[in-house]
A and B are shown apart, each in its own frame.
Chain A
Amino acid sequence: MLVTPALLWTLLFFVAPFVAMALLSLNFQSSDGLTISNYTQFFTNPSYYRAMINSLEVTGMVTVISVLLAYPFAWILAEQIPARLQRLALLLAILPFWTSYVVRSYSWLLVLAQQGVVNEALMRTGLFTEPLQLANTRTATIIGFVHFFVMLLTLTIFASLKQLNPSYRKAATDLGAGPIRTFIYIILPLTIPGVMVGAFLTFVLAIGDYITPQILGGNNELLMPQLIMMQIGRRGDFPLASALALILMAVVTIAYIACARWLKIERT
């Protein structure tokens, strides 16, 4: 009884749309019956599968760079900052997280523009005489993504560092391990689940995002969400867009299965 409204909502507005997209992707409205031509198109047309490769490359780089930047930062917040300031330091570290998606990407466009503050600063140093082409590149897309996910990962990694039982660390020190050995053999392995949850979230959110690559990357190379939007908007080709969306879903599902053992929602 109690769970019925939520289940109905999910079935009606989440499951049904999926079934509809699956049917559409098989061209069920055409007269020749069901075909997989939309899928074969994806795997044979280089401009389509290239978008998936671009997406995987960008998302992979974003995930790795974000984890590498966020881990030391979370560690500093958790270990080097006095306890009474920690909450404030963390709150500050994720404050820009709350800027709207569209606005955040636009802000990076301002920063990276031809006459933006970065180029302005570089020219001032005298090391560069010409402004760098930063906006409308893959680098800009990656910077925009990394900015968001460093904040997200700092949050998840900070949480798993704080949840560590301090007696493990004491035990390691008592047994003669120095701070570096304690970190490598005790702290790092115990925080891996938190890192994996954050990395998974990064991967899923980044690979499905349309805004960041569209605003910052320009149209030089397309990522999957841009390709899908192009089918919907400019060409009105819903069957192909559905097929592309389901292929993207399949990739996310594979990532989910790979991370499944770290991702459990349980009651406390």
Chain B
Amino acid sequence: MRGLVKLLSAGYALAIYGFIFLPVVVLVVFSLQSTAFPIPPFTGPSTRWYEAVLSDTRLTSALMNSLAVAVISSAIAAALGFLSAWGFARFVLPGSATLRGLITLPLTVSYLIIGMGLLVVFNWAGLPKSLITAGIGHVVINLPLCFAIIYSQMGDHQINIERAARDLGASEWRVLLLITLPIMWPAIFASLFLSMTFSWDEFVISFLLTRFDTTLPVEIWNLLRSGLNPKTNAVGSLVFAVSVVLAIILELILLRRRPA
């Protein structure tokens, strides 16, 4: 009985792992294809499609745009999320529960709808589409996430440390900079990196809110119009590699916080 459970478990787990990794493996393997179609039989390995990606200025500038939007919008989202989490956790505010609900509300709304709403408003305001408008959209989707992560980590035991600092004569700003920020940094970094991965991957808001200069997912989307193409495989593999690095950093931060 025990042995049977073990055997079935192993078989099932392997099948699921296979399913999960199938598209990634196919993507990466056929990015090394030396002929023009990313379908069997495999003709590589060759790096010609990576060279094609790196010499394509549209793709490389989209990559820089994506990085800039991800870093800046995540920094804003994490800063606003931290300040509001601190405010809600430490001070009694009128209508606190409602306001917290309001800040987390965008989490339940599809990116498509958020992007469309912003498009309507920016149209009325006469703001042209740009990387900035897309960045504003990314803050909207990541702010609730940052708030929720940081707020959930603000324990009551930390209040006492802050109180002690205040009793010893520290001003609010010194408490914030010297006590609260250092205590909270794992949560802040976790929310920052999570926001960066989401912004890095985000498509539909960037698609709706940018025009000429755009982000990498939108540029990849444009590539898809040409059908199956090893160049798309190559750029997709590169994007995957960046996301995995971000994810590993995130994992290391979480690991340090909770030693397993």
A267 and B152 contact, CB distance less than 8 A: yes
A5 and B239 contact, CB distance less than 8 A: no
Stretch at the interface among A36-44, A45-53, A70-78, A186-194: A70-78
Residue from A69, A116, A204, A242 in contact with B120 in the complex, judged by beta carbons closer than 8 Å:
A242
Contact partners of A205 in chain B: CB under 8 A: 110
Contact partners of B81 in chain A: CB under 8 A: 6
Residue from A5, A97, A116 in contact with B39 in the complex, judged by beta carbons closer than 8 Å:
A116
Confirm or deny: A2 has a beta carbon within 8 angstroms of a beta carbon on chain B: yes
Which partner residue on chain B sits nearest A144 by CB separation? Answer: B23
Contact A207 to B12, CB < 8 A, known contacts A5-B83, A100-B243: no
Contact partners of A266 in chain B: CB under 8 A: 152
Report the Cα distance A72→B26, complex, angstroms. 26
Contact A103 to B113, CB < 8 A, known contacts A6-B147, A110-B233, A252-B108: no
Contact partners of B221 in chain A: CB under 8 A: 102
Confirm or deny: A228 has a beta carbon within 8 angstroms of a beta carbon on chain B: yes
A229 and B239 contact, CB distance less than 8 A: no
Residue from B12, B114, B220 in contact with A102 in the complex, judged by beta carbons closer than 8 Å:
B220
Which partner residue on chain A sits nearest B245 by CB separation? Answer: A98
Contact partners of A24 in chain B: CB under 8 A: 120
Confirm or deny: B184 has a beta carbon within 8 angstroms of a beta carbon on chain A: no
A204 and B251 contact, CB distance less than 8 A: no
Residue from A76, A106, A108, A115 in contact with B12 in the complex, judged by beta carbons closer than 8 Å:
A76
B152 to chain A, nearest CB (A): 6
Report the Cα distance A107→B38, complex, angstroms. 10
Interface residues of A in 5-34 (CB under 8 A from B): 5-7, 9-10, 13-18, 20-21, 24
Contact partners of B3 in chain A: CB under 8 A: none
Stretch at the interface among B48-56, B162-170, B195-203: B195-203
Most chain B CB within a 10 A radius of its CB, from A20, A107, A265: A107
B152 and A268 contact, CB distance less than 8 A: yes
A11 to chain B, nearest CB (A): 8
Confirm or deny: B35 has a beta carbon within 8 angstroms of a beta carbon on chain A: no
Confirm or deny: A181 has a beta carbon within 8 angstroms of a beta carbon on chain B: no
Confirm or deny: A171 has a beta carbon within 8 angstroms of a beta carbon on chain B: no
Residue from B13, B104, B216, B240 in contact with A77 in the complex, judged by beta carbons closer than 8 Å:
B13
**C-beta contact mask, B96-132 vs A, less than 8 Å → 1, else 0?**
0001101111101111111011111100100000000
Most chain B CB within a 10 A radius of its CB, from A100, A111, A245: A100
A110 and B140 contact, CB distance less than 8 A: no
B24 and A107 contact, CB distance less than 8 A: yes
Confirm or deny: B88 has a beta carbon within 8 angstroms of a beta carbon on chain A: yes
Confirm or deny: A56 has a beta carbon within 8 angstroms of a beta carbon on chain B: no
B240 and A98 contact, CB distance less than 8 A: yes
A99 and B148 contact, CB distance less than 8 A: no
Confirm or deny: A210 has a beta carbon within 8 angstroms of a beta carbon on chain B: yes
Report the Cα distance A101→B232, complex, angstroms. 13
**C-beta contact mask, B229-260 vs A, less than 8 Å → 1, else 0?**
00011001001100110110001000100001
Which partner residue on chain A sits nearest B30 by CB separation? Answer: A110
Contact A113 to B39, CB < 8 A, known contacts A5-B83, A9-B80, A20-B121: yes
B20 and A147 contact, CB distance less than 8 A: yes
B87 and A2 contact, CB distance less than 8 A: yes
Which partner residue on chain B sits nearest A1 by CB separation? Answer: B87
B229 to chain A, nearest CB (A): 10
A241 and B116 contact, CB distance less than 8 A: yes
Report the Cα distance A230→B10, complex, angstroms. 45
Q: List 6 A-B contacts (CB under 8 A).
A: A10-B103, A93-B16, A93-B20, A95-B247, A103-B236, A113-B228
Task: Name the 4 nearest CB pairs between A and B, nearest first.
Answer: A208-B110, A17-B117, A2-B87, A107-B23
Interface residues of B (CB under 8 A from A): 5-6, 9-10, 12-13, 16-17, 19-24, 26-27, 30, 38-40, 80-81, 83-84, 86-89, 91, 93, 99-100, 102-106, 108-114, 116-121, 124, 136-137, 139-140, 143, 147-148, 151-156, 197, 200-204, 208, 216-217, 220-221, 224, 228, 232-233, 236, 239-240, 243-244, 246-247, 251, 255, 260
